[in-house]
Amino acid sequence: MYSSSNVVFLLNILVLIFLVKAVISVKGHCPARCVCSTIEGSCVELSLTKFPEERFPGSLMKLDISRNLISELGEYTIRYWMIVSLRKLNLSNNAINRINEQSLMGQSGLKELDLSGNEITTIPPKTFVYPPHLQWLSLANNGELEMPEDAPLLESSSLKVLHLEHCNIDRISVINLQKVMELEELYISHNRIEVIATENEGETSALKNLKVLDVSHNQLQELPPEILALLSLETLVLRKNKLKVLGEMKYSGEFCEKDLYAETHIKTVSS
Ligand SMILES: *[C@@H]1O[C@H](CO)[C@@H](O)[C@H](O)[C@H]1NC(C)=O
């Protein structure tokens, strides 16, 4: 006959076995040579030329596949893994040159995507619309990125931070950023930009939330007054350009730092 404490003891053992099995089965999903915990997966520097086809733990929040040789982000690659919990995805330092417009569909939790150091030339316009909560995106170090002449570079109604450093960009127009209305920080240093085009009034309303603009290490000779007039702008980094004067001020009066701060709310100008 079993006493009740024995029964409790046995039940505890059973619960324990069940839990261990559950953890093992979640951990069990991990592509060969990658390393996974229940919330993090890493396949860094494995010379992969394709995305792993095996499953990752479905509970993953962070996945790092940087430093490989992958050249294409296909329509079903990421959807196939069915990791709806994913928050951060790092695909930097690969050889990605083709991105399917629907490749990020279904990633409703994705907040941070690192695509820096790839070979991206063009981005299908809706690519970043599908992860509806994407806030941070890096396209830095894509040396052949083509800035569309008079069309948006990308579209997102959630993106707050965009990195475009070291992309060999020679011209940027406000129209390129017209469809990233919530953008707060734009890093576009170390390019060859000679002109920031702001064709007509009103267009800069696209940048109404911009707080940080880093255009250092470019070829700018002047800064359009529309940029200085951005109401939310707090930090403007201008060093290493060819600026002589800071544009023609939109407002009357001599240009001086105090006026600049007063007119634009800019707290930091480094030049
Ligand atoms: C992505 O991976 C690269 C290279 O492994 C690393 O330098 C970078 O900081 C990572 N990005 C993020 C956003 O953590």
Tens digit of each residue's pLDDT (9 = 90 or more) over 228-254: 888 899 999 999 999 876 544 444 333
Token pair of 50 as six digits: 């394709």
For residues 152 and 159, give the distance between their C-alpha atoms in angstroms, rounded to a whole number.
14
Provide the 8-state DSSP code for 17: H
Distance from residue 240's CA to the centre of ligand 1 (Å): 26
Does 11 or 201 have the greater pLDDT score?
Answer: 11
* pLDDT tens readout for residues 60-88: 999 999 999 999 999 998 888 888 899 99
Give the pTM: 0.83
Distance from residue 90's CA to the centre of ligand 1 (Å): 6
Determine the residue of 48, 69, 90 to mutate for testing ligand 1's pocket, defined as the one with the most ligand atoms within 8 A of the Cβ atom: 90
* Confidence tier at 9 by pLDDT (50, 70, 90): confident
- CB atoms under 10 Å from CB of 127, counted, come to 22
In the predicted structure, residue 19 carries a pLDDT above the cut 70: no
In the predicted structure, residue 267 carries a pLDDT above the cut 80: no
Does residue 66 have its Cβ closer than 6 Å to ligand 1?
A: yes
Q: Is 212 helix (H, G, I), strand (E, B) or coil?
A: strand
CA distances from 57 to 91, 105, 194, 261 (A): 18, 19, 47, 51
The ligand 1 atom at the shortest distance from the C-alpha of residue 90 is 1
* pLDDT tens readout for residues 147-203: 998 899 999 999 999 999 999 999 999 999 999 999 999 999 999 999 898 866 555
pLDDT at 213: 95
In the predicted structure, residue 261 carries a pLDDT above the cut 50: no
- Rg value, the chain, Cα: 24
Percentage of the chain modeled with pLDDT above 70 = 81
Does residue 90 have its Cβ closer than 6 Å to ligand 1?
A: yes
* pLDDT tens readout for residues 93-133: 999 999 999 999 989 999 999 999 999 999 998 999 999 99
Distance from residue 152's CA to the centre of ligand 1 (Å): 26
Determine the residue of 64, 68, 94, 115 to mutate for testing ligand 1's pocket, defined as the one with the most ligand atoms within 8 A of the Cβ atom: 64
Does residue 92 have its Cβ closer than 6 Å to ligand 1?
A: yes
Ligand 1 atom 13: the closest Cα is on which residue? 114
Query: Are residues 232 and 255 in contact, defined by beta-carbon separation less than 8 angstroms?
Result: no
The ligand 1 atom at the shortest distance from the C-alpha of residue 44 is 5
In the predicted structure, residue 89 carries a pLDDT above the cut 70: yes
When pLDDT is averaged across residues 246-270 and rounded to a whole number, the result is 47
For residues 239 and 267, give the distance between their C-alpha atoms in angstroms, rounded to a whole number.
16
Does residue 68 have its Cβ closer than 6 Å to ligand 1?
A: no
Burial environment of residue 139 by CB neighbours within 10 A (0 to 12, 13 to 18, 19 or more): buried
Ligand 1 atom 10: the closest Cα is on which residue? 90
Does residue 94 have its Cβ closer than 6 Å to ligand 1?
A: no
Could you tell me the end-to-end alpha-carbon distance of the chain, in angstroms, rounded to an integer? Answer: 85
Alpha helices by DSSP H, the chain: 4-28, 77-81, 225-228, 257-264
pLDDT at 18: 65
pLDDT at 79: 87
Does residue 114 have its Cβ closer than 6 Å to ligand 1?
A: yes
Token pair of 234 as six digits: 């707090």
For residues 100 and 36, give the distance between their C-alpha atoms in angstroms, rounded to a whole number.
26
Does residue 67 have its Cβ closer than 6 Å to ligand 1?
A: yes
For residues 174 and 268, give the distance between their C-alpha atoms in angstroms, rounded to a whole number.
22
* Confidence tier at 10 by pLDDT (50, 70, 90): confident
Ligand 1 atom 5: the closest Cα is on which residue? 66
How, if at all, do strands 35-36 and 40-42 pair? antiparallel
